[in-house]
């Protein structure tokens, strides 16, 4: 239905010829923009309400007595519903470690939280369809699961800053919000996200639209397609230091995929942007020694690269 | 009354600080508003996500940025 509206707007009202580059680009732009903002509004609101039931304090309690594999899986899943603000990473990390949670489980949480976030999922669902969104989620959870287990097995507790183990955390009452408060927060959170993200979404979709309309088919295929075995690695390496929100990059990636970028490479690229970001690494430096940060980034990167090759092969 | 804003300097923490200042201004009361940025002090409050707001030592909210109106409710 939205496609119909976009088509009408561009081709009938404005009068651009369908099939032309400008027509294709504009059509893509209006269709995607409305679809994305609609989805964003609805889903972010819904997820925000769900999240109000899972503050980190609750996750910590839920994870408290779990053993290795179960704990890692649970942590990976809980990471999805836990809001992740880069600056929260530190108190959360300290809180989890201080309460005796194994390092591996804490890392499972730390990997899944930024990677599987609702903005990314909405964008993926809206632009690639629900199957890809689901694959992304499953991959993110699996990544978090194994990443956490590996880090746990490597026994790297000594690479956490010493003071973290000495902190005595205070007790704080868990504040249970009323339904009115939940909905209020959800609404404010949605407005806030939209306000922060709308320009990136427009720019992202704009660039995507341009690629859609103007970049010749198979152009991307030539350079980053199956013919180039290093494409996945390069994509991941580019993505690591980038700190973008998913909103901006996914529309661009979608257009690239249309022009021949393999799906696995695309997934790996998107994941590497969100799973590891430079600001997050810098903030984590407060609680983790550089060696552990490097190991963390290394393991996650390698895992994402493998994911990229795997999906290139099977999708 | 003393309000402490717990956070390590990201944009949300600043927003909470601004909202608090605004709420205090609108209420017309004499209230001390302080930023707590030291991680050890923040952890002493038992919060797992910043930004957080504490009034006279008791945490009122953590992990979210409440609106000015909400803060005004608390300082009445």
Determine, for residues B8 and A90 on separate chains, whether the beta-carbon distance falls below 8 Å. Answer: yes
Q: Does B45 touch chain A (CB under 8 A)?
A: yes
Q: Report the gap between the CA of A313 and the closest CA in chain B (Å).
A: 40
- With CA atoms as reference, the chain B residue closest to A48 would be B64
**Helix, coil or strand: residue B32:** strand
DSSP lists the bridge partners of residue B5 as: B35, B53
Contacting residues of B for A188, CB less than 8 Å apart = 65, 67
| CATH number (domain holding residue B11) | 3.40.30.10
Q: Report the gap between the CA of A50 and the closest CA in chain B (Å).
A: 14
Question: Rg of chain B over CA atoms, in angstroms?
Answer: 11
Query: What distance in Å separates the CA atoms of residue B61 and residue B5, rounded to the nearest whole number?
Result: 10
Q: Which domain holds residue B10?
A: 2-75
Determine, for residues B49 and A92 on separate chains, whether the beta-carbon distance falls below 8 Å. Answer: yes
Q: Does A92 touch chain B (CB under 8 A)?
A: yes
Length of chain B: 76
**Its pTM surpasses 0.90:** no
- For tokens 């609805």, name the residue: A42
Q: Which of B13, B52, B63 to mutate to test the interface with A (most CBs of A within 10 A)?
A: B63
Q: Report the gap between the CA of B31 and the closest CA in chain A (Å).
A: 23
- List the structure tokens of B76: 């009445």
The number of domains in chain B is 1
Determine, for residues A85 and B59 on separate chains, whether the beta-carbon distance falls below 8 Å. Answer: no
**Helix, coil or strand: residue B4:** strand
Q: Does A260 touch chain B (CB under 8 A)?
A: no
Determine, for residues A173 and B62 on separate chains, whether the beta-carbon distance falls below 8 Å. Answer: no
pLDDT in tens, chain A (315 residues): 666 677 777 777 676 777 777 877 888 788 888 888 888 888 888 888 888 888 888 888 888 877 888 889 999 998 888 877 777 788 888 888 888 889 999 999 989 888 888 888 888 888 888 888 999 999 999 999 999 999 999 988 888 888 888 887 777 777 788 888 888 888 888 888 888 888 888 888 888 888 888 877 777 777 777 777 888 888 888 888 776 677 778 888 888 888 888 899 998 988 888 888 888 888 888 889 999 999 999 999 999 999 999 988 887
- The minimal CB distance from B12 to the residues A85, A168, A170 is found for A85
Q: In what order do the strands lie in the sheet with B32-36?
A: B32-36, B2-6, B52-55, B58-62
């Amino acid at each position: 239905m939205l496609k119909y509206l976009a088509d009408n707007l561009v081709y009938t009202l404005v009068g651009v010829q369908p099939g032309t580059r400008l027509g294709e680009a504009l059509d893509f732009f209006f269709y995607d923009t409305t679809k994305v903002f609609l989805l964003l509004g609805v889903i972010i609101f819904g997820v925000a309400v769900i999240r109000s039931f899972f503050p980190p304090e609750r996750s910590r309690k839920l994870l408290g007595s779990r053993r290795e594999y179960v704990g890692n899986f649970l942590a990976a899943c809980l990471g999805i519903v836990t809001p992740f603000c880069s600056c929260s990473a530190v108190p959360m990390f300290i809180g989890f470690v201080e309460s005796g949670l194994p390092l591996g489980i804490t890392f499972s949480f730390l990997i899944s939280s930024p990677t599987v976030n609702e903005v990314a999922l909405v964008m993926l669902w809206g632009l690639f369809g629900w199957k890809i969104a689901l694959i992304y989620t499953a991959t993110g959870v699996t990544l978090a699961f194994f990443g956490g287990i590996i880090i746990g097995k490597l026994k790297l507790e000594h690479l956490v800053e010493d003071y973290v183990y000495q902190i005595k955390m205070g007790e704080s009452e868990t504040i249970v919000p009323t339904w009115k408060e939940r909905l209020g927060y959800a609404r404010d959170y949605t407005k806030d996200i939209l306000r922060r993200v709308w320009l990136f979404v427009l720019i992202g979709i704009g660039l995507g639209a341009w690629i859609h309309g103007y970049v010749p088919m198979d152009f991307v295929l030539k350079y980053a397609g199956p013919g180039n075995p290093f494409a996945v690695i390069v994509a991941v390496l580019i993505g690591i230091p980038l700190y973008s929100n998913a909103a901006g990059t996914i529309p661009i990636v979608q257009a690239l995929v249309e022009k021949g970028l393999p799906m696995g490479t695309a997934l790996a690229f998107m994941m590497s942007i969100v799973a590891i970001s430079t600001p997050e690494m810098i903030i984590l430096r407060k609680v983790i020694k550089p060696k552990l940060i490097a190991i963390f980034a290394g393991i996650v990167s390698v895992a994402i690269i493998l994911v990229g090759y795997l999906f290139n092969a099977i999708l | 009354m003393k309000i402490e804003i717990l956070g390590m300097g990201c944009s949300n923490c600043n927003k909470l600080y601004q909202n608090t200042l605004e709420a205090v201004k609108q209420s017309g009361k004499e209230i001390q508003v302080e930023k707590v940025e030291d991680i050890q002090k923040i952890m002493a409050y038992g919060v797992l996500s910043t930004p957080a707001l504490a009034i006279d030592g008791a945490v009122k909210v953590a992990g979210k940025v409440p609106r000015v109106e909400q803060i005004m409710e608390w300082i009445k």
